[in-house]
Amino acid sequence: MIRVFSTGIAALLLAMPTTGLGQQAGDGVAEGRAMVQAGRIELIRTELQFTDAEEAAFWPIFEDYQAKSSAVGDRYAALLTEYVDRWDRGDLDDEYANRLLKEYFGIKQEMLDVQADYVPKFMEVLPALKVAQFVQLENKIRAEIDSQLAIAIPLIDPT
């Protein structure tokens, strides 16, 4: 089921390591994210098996949810791109590491807040089991993306 994202994740990852902040890297990240989003929508459609009424009510809420999630994702992509660029240049220090950690955990918390804010909205139009399944799918997609990013993004060398 999550294999749908392999191509999009690969495009996203190929753009990031050792490319710096150039337009080509930004285009590759945007292209990868668009491919992941298209796969996400198809996966949700397939797995949740909406009735016609559920589908009509779900997608407008999802679009709003996705806009808010994407704004947080934009910050995350920018943070990762900046990190890789600085890693490439050997421009990492304690001051930057402190800022990186603070921004990283802020972004993760903001994404959780978006999800938590939208669960009641989805519950208004879907049964609880379908909302739970949707949250599971979102978490699986994010876990797949994070695992691929963890493989591709270089570790800080504190020495």
Q: At residue 118, what are phi and psi to the nearest 5 degrees?
A: -90, -15
Q: What is the pLDDT of residues 112-139, one digit of tens each?
A: 999 999 999 999 999 999 999 999 999 9
Question: Cα–Cα distance between 107 and 102 in angstroms, integer?
Answer: 9
Quickly tell me which residue has 């890297």 as its tokens.
Answer: 25
Mean pLDDT over each residue of the chain, to the nearest integer: 86
Distance CA(159)–CA(58), nearest Å, equals 50
Residue 53 pLDDT > 80: yes
Cα 24 to Cα 7, 15, 72: the distances in Å are 18, 7, 22
Would you place residue 7 in the very low, low, confident or very high pLDDT band (cuts 50, 70, 90)?
very low
